[in-house]
Structure 1
């Protein structure tokens, strides 16, 4: 059974029952009569199988040809109709179909790293029939269902038989990142009116944020704890812009920057708060997450046991990157005119753009990661 949202659409004056899938697409159920009882269910979470079975709040609302809800309840309870058997048959057929399709794909794509049996979740959870299709929060999939293989946790591993890598999935946000940013913009305007800047930039190569964060893996990635999507924290954006201004305008001398009234007004100091408010930056479309590796060529040298000799074998360390995904940046202020207040003839929007294009953000900027265009 898949999960969705039961909605009612108005099609040229006619009410039509639909299921809103996780990818945002709607499945119409024209056979389902939209009566007052059905209208009350508009917007409720549901479970469904194709167009054959619809369950809302534990009740079987629709099964193949629609019958009134009260009659359907009685039929399900009746021993003459084995609904559970029908449901199991339908689910088994769907699983067989999905498995067949997945086997075909594996000739081209590597296997998903998700494996409930190889995770370190409690044993009773491992007994639940959970597949990667059931987890639509990437943060949950990466960090709570981490795959333990041999001696450590992996999200990417190349093996002789092909290996595996984690596949991103974002549930209801899959094709709605622009809507997420519209809501983000609305929140910013509710605080500062039109006194905000909005800027969209795209990484020129890979973006790595939160590489050294706490994780069961050797590396990490910053993911939103609710949405499960990669994002750039507001504190990181503010820090990069501030650092770039100090480097470019004040010859990398923070003490000189703190003597500038506009700089202190923008970013604050030990004795006063800054007047600019930075917001988290989210992707504006579905982000592509790709594994990358860094090679430690002298592992024993860094462990302090041997000198850096060529006899040591490199040890690849995997990490996750975001690539080719535009991000939306917002900055607002309630006390400054954000479009006219300038530092060295540049507005904060100019400095933000300069910092992301010329200075980069996140990890590994020295080798080209984290730069935008």
Structure 2
């Protein structure tokens, strides 16, 4: 058969067959009239070569296999390469499916938050999330597609809890005792249901503005404020901690127990300093490492859940770099952790029939187990900082 006929029968172009001849993969017979002709053996060789190519072999490797024995080492290397390529393609497909909402983005969000947190938050904001919401996606739901459902389940769990994070009234009072003046006005950021708010209101004569984005929490706080008769000096407002305006009168004290991590502690130090009068005080609590060598499972869990978690000493250095003096800092103690995790565990037990199979139940159960396993390895530190 002539080259055009061979090309048609094997589904290749004439130019490709000429190139194969140049490489020595194909050898036609030139007739006296100048035309090349090929045998059925040539067709079979080409089609066998196509089958080898389908296995990922290069043209050079195909020639080696056609002209001699199969090389097991060569095939083993090719198989390993294909396995890697398949894994990469599967990962690419899984990501595209997740971005389209067809599967979970949890692992992807965790990894991006670990390696590029600032860009991660900015990208989430470009998808329509506010800055605080972006923090909740990055650190709580970890799946922008399932965020609303996850947070609905999350809020159902927390709706009946008095504390939405570790802390005690004693720890709040101890931090307040380190403030070197009697404050007139206090801004509490991320107040939750208001346990710290109530302690501050009882211990001072200050006017307090308590803000959060959860109406569930704010309604609980409003009830507490009314019941204790503090309505004349405690204002409760739904405000995004990441979009706080500069007030006409700068705050004497800004208080934030367990919530600065949502926008990032370093970002909070920079942003909230601008809202304090000179000499004003910022009080924040944050989860910190208590050991340089945590157990592997403890380290892996918190590296995924809170990638920017660090030690109390590093937080102190960051505060000084941000323009604060350090009036004091202390561990809230195991009782502060138990005051949060014990009621949370009981709430999950009560809600297990309703939450069975949900990620919220799985995530919170895992966190409680990690807390119990690593009691001496992580805990909350309270920092009392004065604006320079």
* Shared fold per TM-score greater than 0.5: no
* Greater Rg over alpha carbons, structure: 2
**How high is the TM-score relative to the length of structure 1?**
0.20
**How high is the TM-score relative to the length of structure 2?**
0.19
